[in-house]
Amino acid sequence: MRDRVLAEVHARPFVPIEGSKRILHFAFMTDHDEAAKARAALADFCLERGCPPPPPDAKQHRVELPDAVLRFELHAEFTTYTWEFPQAIDNSRFAKTKPLPFRPGADELSSIMLHLPQPGPLLVSVDLHLLPAALVGDSWRHLFEPSQLAASEVLGGAALVATDFRPDASGFVRLLVLDRKLTPVDAGSLVQRLLEVETYRTLALLGLPKALDLGPEIRRIENELPRLVQLMREAKGLEASRILLDRLTALAAELEEGAAQSLYRFGATRAYHELMSLRLESIGERSEPNLPTLAAFLTRRLTPAIRTCAATEARQDQLSRKLSRAAQLLRTRVDIELESQNRDLLRNMNERVQLQLKLQQAVKWVSIAAITYYLLSIFHLIFEGLHREVETVDPVVATAVAVPVIVVLVLWFFHRIGKRLAEP
């Protein structure tokens, strides 16, 4: 894995940008299979035009075409296509007209994307125009919605960035970069960071719809839990406790299902928001008179949504712990009631065993008496038969003499049987 780990540092390098450029940036939500299909489609696109295709495991690829440059990038859950169009600017003083930002329209330039299949749902569309500040002047203020305009000097005053973060008629969020004294490397890094800011901003907000969808469900569970706890206090008997435990378990399962579905999305929201903040911090903004910076604008507008996601996740976590404690208390009560029932059952069983032992003792002595009686009856018949042959033998006396002997033998016999049964 060493090569992959070391290559990650150079996976998405800055590309120097010289002169005026028009850049269209698209981001599509893709899973692993869709990303693989997108890379395969790009390989076909390159081969048809005689360009080198992307390597099998490449996360980014640059395609230089006669009229544009395409930068293709694969990320964890999205894929980006960034088209760079050169803009010829007449800097001579004899130029009749000044260059118009965002002309021609993005809808005309974006037709080039029709040569590639859409890999997934479109999430981000950015129209970024890099122009010399001296040729544009102050007209940039009229290109955006005045109430939504955010602008700032960046990189120590080397450039000015302006946007209103609103999609235009073609669905593109427009970013204007006015070059004052940018080097090609600075221009490339600034453009990439601005595109990442818009991409991460949009991705960070994907958690908000999920949080809003989960809100009513969490609120219902929050209202149901106190009622169940009240019923726990009033409930008596094992059956009532079991019914309450089933309801608590059902609520916990419902909550955990929503938490499992939103776990990745809320985690991604935090990560994307942090990345966006780091990108804004790296460009070193300085405020323009009477206008908020990009960071200030996004902080004011984005923070409530991020906090909503964080609050929803915190509510899920706290509610899960409360449900767990309530279920544990109720389960403890059920266990205690079961132990009480088991104790009563064991007591009854012990009483029945004692009774059975007494009955067995009674039956034992009855059996001893019966066996002794039957044996004596047999010996009496024998003695009577001997009396007919030997008159000196008295059957009654002989039977009386045999009584203690037979009783001892019978007792010894039962003792031996009991001893054998007691052996393990």
DSSP, residue by residue, 237-271: SHHHHHHHHHHHHHHHHHHHHHHHHHHHHHHHHHH
Lowest mean pLDDT among 98-102, 106-110, 277-281: 98-102
pLDDT tens for 125-140 read 999 999 999 888 888 8
Q: What is the pLDDT, as a whole number, of residue 132? A: 92
* Side chain identity, residue 100: L
Residue 158 tokens, joined: 């080397």
* pLDDT over 80 (residue 97): no
Q: How far apart are CA 158 and CA 206, in angstroms?
A: 33
Lowest mean pLDDT among 90-94, 183-187, 327-331, 347-351: 90-94
Query: What residue segments make up the domains of the chain, in order of their start?
Result: 2-182, 207-345, 356-422
Q: What is the mean pLDDT of residues 333-348?
A: 84
* pLDDT over 80 (residue 81): yes
- Give yes or no for a contact between 301 and 276, defined as CB atoms under 8 angstroms apart: no
Q: What is the pLDDT, as a whole number, of residue 239? A: 82
More confident residue, 337 or 165: 165
Q: What is the mean pLDDT of residues 97-107?
A: 80
Contacts 24+ apart (CB under 8 A), 360-364: 364/414
User: Which H or E element spans position 163?
Assistant: strand 159-167
Residue 230 tokens, joined: 């009240």
Q: What is the mean pLDDT of residues 398-420?
A: 82
Residue with tokens 């399962």, as numbered in its chain: 253
Q: What is the pLDDT, as a whole number, of residue 10? A: 67
More confident residue, 196 or 335: 196
Q: What is the pLDDT, as a whole number, of residue 137? A: 82
Alpha helices in 23-155 (DSSP H): 32-48, 106-109, 133-136
* pLDDT over 80 (residue 37): yes
More confident residue, 60 or 392: 60
User: Which H or E element spans position 154?
Assistant: strand 150-154
Q: What is the pLDDT, as a whole number, of residue 33? A: 94
Q: What is the mean pLDDT of residues 407-418?
A: 82
pLDDT tens for 351-396 read 888 888 888 777 778 888 888 888 888 888 887 888 777 777 777 8
User: Which H or E element spans position 63?
Assistant: strand 60-64
Q: What is the pLDDT, as a whole number, of residue 222? A: 92
Q: What is the pLDDT, as a whole number, of residue 89? A: 61
Q: What is the pLDDT, as a whole number, of residue 310? A: 95
72 pLDDT band (50/70/90 cuts)?
very high
Residue 334 tokens, joined: 């059920």
Q: How far apart are CA 226 and CA 230, in angstroms?
A: 6
* Side chain identity, residue 104: P
Q: How far is CA 89 from CA 20, 126, 216, 359, in A?
A: 7, 22, 55, 116
Q: What is the mean pLDDT of residues 415-419?
A: 78
Q: What is the mean pLDDT of residues 299-312?
A: 93
Q: How does the average pLDDT of the chain come out, rounded?
A: 88
* pLDDT over 80 (residue 424): no
94 pLDDT band (50/70/90 cuts)?
very low
